[in-house]
Structure 1
Amino acid sequence: MSILLSVILPVFVVIGIGFLAAKRGLMTESGIDGVMRFSQGFAVPVLLFQALANLDLGANFDLRLVGTFYTGSFTCFVIGMLAAVYLFKRDWEDAVAIGFIALFSNSLLLGLPITERAFGPASTAANFAIIAVHSPFCYAVGITAMEIVKSKGQPPRTVPLKVLKAIFSNSLIVGITLGLIVNLTGLPIPTVVDEGLDMLVRAALPSALFGLGGVIARYRIEGDLPTILFTLALSLILHPAIAWGLGTAMQLPPDAFRSVVVTACMAPGANAYLFASMYGRATRVAASCVLLGTALSTLTAAVWLALLA
């Protein structure tokens, strides 16, 4: 209970304030959209840029860490997609969108602040190593799979261009890419610029969490409950269980092990809904999974944190 109160609930209090502000009409939809554009388009990309520009890649970018997290993530994608087709009788385009929900953990807006609150700011280097790959990997998998099932006789050579265009139009990936360029080249950042970036970084997570609450307020859980619950079981239970097993087998260091399990047990992120909306597929399932998964993760994350403690 102390873990739930001291680590997880403060994060969800900020989400809840955004949720209530939107529900009560204290923030309009356009106001919430503005907060999200600020956080996702500017503040969070700057957070990622600064973190990756200063990250010790040699010490923290461990292939065992990345392999552990993304093996679980990809496994959930495949199981979710196949279950959607053969168990829930959805077509293949719906199935890819449902698989993407199980693939895309909320590594940034939930995983990062919960890890920081649970284990301290110094413990989040492994989180940033996961986040650096997260959007590129997930969108590459999801878009490639969707374009393949949508192609229906179109030449395969058109798929890579569509994937790259979609990936690099994402501001989070731009922030990640620029941060890695600065890190690898050693380009200096002027002090006055760095201090200005610090101001944006301090606003990134609070504004993103508030905006997430406002966006969630638009959703409602409706229909497809077996599909929703199955997909959430993959995200909240199977993915962290795979991460735990592989992390143990790979003998990950304690900080990396904690980061990979905490990140894996997070609810599907809002990007799962954005992906479904982009293709107009399984949007009701995606919205319900984001809403219900975020609520359920207050409990499931507390269980995983208790096991880690």
Structure 2
Amino acid sequence: MLAIFSITLPIFVLIGTGVIAGRFLGLERGDLRGLSNFVWYFALPGLILRAFVLHPISDFLHLNYLLLYMTASLLTFGISLSVARFARGKTLTESALMALGSSSSNSGFVGFPVASLVVGPLAPIGLALNMIVENLIILPAGMVLAEDGQRGGAGALTALRASLISLIRNPLIISLFIGAAISASGLDFKDLSLFHAIDMLANASGAVALFIVGATLASTKATGSLLPDAAQVSIGKLVLHPLSALAVAFLMPGLEPEMRKMAIIFASSPMLTVYPIIGQRFGYQDMSSAALLMATTASFFTISIMLALV
């Protein structure tokens, strides 16, 4: 158990530091937006580029891992959507947002720092593959269904078009393509001065991302009326998603044990930090904020338990 806490404690110390800074240093949303933009547009793309420079393109062709993570995420999405829509009578829009929160991990800000402490150099590869699933499948599915629900069936095409445009502009997707081209070229970029700059950006990603998560939580509130919905999303994210990954991992022959561990660890992380922003777009900011607060707080315990299992 001490070995587990030695992994999780630094993660949550950094999140706690962000909470303290958000509460007592007067950090405003504009400050956090600037830090988030730094991580989103520079540090995480640098992390992905560094992984492609340091690894041959063949290391990223883990189709079994991609299938595992995609299947677990879609399974979680479908179950969460069905429970909210048919068992609890929620609207299609709210059901889609709850499913999105349950199945989209905060791979860059929480999952990667934890995975890097467990599986080391495999973590950036997992992050790159997760970005494909989350940005090309889960996020568009949630947004299209939520838009469709709000517009009574007339908004799906508009939402799909907006999702495609967003993908083209996504810095992580852009860095994936650039990194793949660099890796496939076979040229050695490690000794270039530019690579050292990328390396410095990549090293900053984990700590700054966790600090942002904590500072965001400091300004997030939850009320009693939101607890049932927040609880469903949190249980879906912290229990159903990693258990789905665990189940699919055991059903997939030929997958390396470290890859199985990595998928479960990434699936165990709470939802995207921008989840309340997505919720705000559809009028469900309070629900999504409460879910983010609940899931991130509870993840200290659930991630520790999941690490013990793997």
Q: Same fold (TM over 0.5)?
A: yes
Aligned to 2:208: 207
How far does the alpha carbon of each residue in 1:40-68 deviate from its partner, in whole angstroms, 9 at most, with x for none? 22212221222234443423432221111
> Gapped runs of 5+ residues in structure 2?
none
Matches within 5 A, 1:34-49: 34-49=34-49
Q: 2-side partners of 1:49 and 1:122: how far apart?
A: 13
With 143-152 and 245-254 compared, the bigger mean Cα shift is at: 143-152
Q: 1-side partners of 2:129 and 2:21: how far apart?
A: 32
Computed over aligned residues only, the root mean square deviation of the Cα atoms, in angstroms, reads 2.3
Residue 191 (structure 1) shift: 0.4
Do structure 1's residue 268 and structure 2's residue 268 form an aligned pair? Answer: no
Q: 1-side partners of 2:56 and 2:287: how far apart?
A: 39
User: Residues 77 and 102 of structure 1 are in contact (CA less than 8 Å); yes or no, is this contact kept in structure 2?
Assistant: yes
SS in 2 for 1:281: coil
User: Residues 102 and 232 of structure 1 are in contact (CA less than 8 Å); yes or no, is this contact kept in structure 2?
Assistant: yes
Do structure 1's residue 24 and structure 2's residue 12 form an aligned pair? Answer: no
User: Residues 66 and 129 of structure 1 are in contact (CA less than 8 Å); yes or no, is this contact kept in structure 2?
Assistant: no
Residue 151 (structure 1) shift: 4.9
Aligned to 2:130: 131
Q: 2-side partners of 1:188 and 1:147: how far apart?
A: 45
Quickly say closer, same or farther: Cα 1:271–1:104, change in 2 above 3 A: farther
> Gapped runs of 5+ residues in structure 1?
none
Aligned to 1:122: 121
Quickly say closer, same or farther: Cα 1:7–1:172, change in 2 above 3 A: same
Do structure 1's residue 13 and structure 2's residue 13 form an aligned pair? Answer: yes
Q: How many residues align?
A: 306
SS in 1 for 2:169: coil
Residue 159 (structure 1) shift: 5.0
Aligned to 2:262: 259
| Structure 2 counterpart of 1:140, one-letter code | P
With 140-149 and 255-264 compared, the bigger mean Cα shift is at: 140-149
User: Residues 110 and 209 of structure 2 are in contact (CA less than 8 Å); yes or no, is this contact kept in structure 1?
Assistant: no
Quickly say closer, same or farther: Cα 1:35–1:163, change in 2 above 3 A: closer
Q: 1-side partners of 2:157 and 2:231: how far apart?
A: 37
Q: 2-side partners of 1:231 and 1:153: how far apart?
A: 24
State, as a whole percentage, how many aligned pairs show the same letter: 22
Aligned to 1:196: 197
User: Residues 61 and 126 of structure 1 are in contact (CA less than 8 Å); yes or no, is this contact kept in structure 2?
Assistant: no
Match of 1:228 among 230, 233, 236: 230
Q: 2-side partners of 1:293 and 1:3: how far apart?
A: 23
How far does the alpha carbon of each residue in 1:1-33 deviate from its partner, in whole angstroms, 9 at most, with x for none? 313420001011111101110111353332222
SS in 2 for 1:64: helix
How far does the alpha carbon of each residue in 1:73-115 deviate from its partner, in whole angstroms, 9 at most, with x for none? 1121122222222233321112111111012111122111112
Matches within 5 A, 1:1-309: 1-119=1-119, 121-124=120-123, 126-133=125-132, 134-152=134-152, 154=154, 158-186=158-186, 189=189, 191-222=192-223, 223-251=225-253, 252-277=255-280, 279-308=281-310
User: Residues 102 and 231 of structure 1 are in contact (CA less than 8 Å); yes or no, is this contact kept in structure 2?
Assistant: yes
Q: 2-side partners of 1:24 and 1:168: how far apart?
A: 38
SS in 2 for 1:80: helix
| Structure 1 counterpart of 2:71, one-letter code | T
How far does the alpha carbon of each residue in 1:224-257 deviate from its partner, in whole angstroms, 9 at most, with x for none? 2112112211111111112112111213211101
| Structure 1 counterpart of 2:96, one-letter code | V
With 18-27 and 144-153 compared, the bigger mean Cα shift is at: 144-153
Quickly say closer, same or farther: Cα 1:52–1:88, change in 2 above 3 A: farther
Residue 150 (structure 1) shift: 4.2
| Structure 1 counterpart of 2:219, one-letter code | R
Quickly say closer, same or farther: Cα 1:21–1:144, change in 2 above 3 A: same
With 182-191 and 242-251 compared, the bigger mean Cα shift is at: 182-191
- Give the structure-2-normalised TM-score: 0.89
Residue 174 (structure 1) shift: 2.5
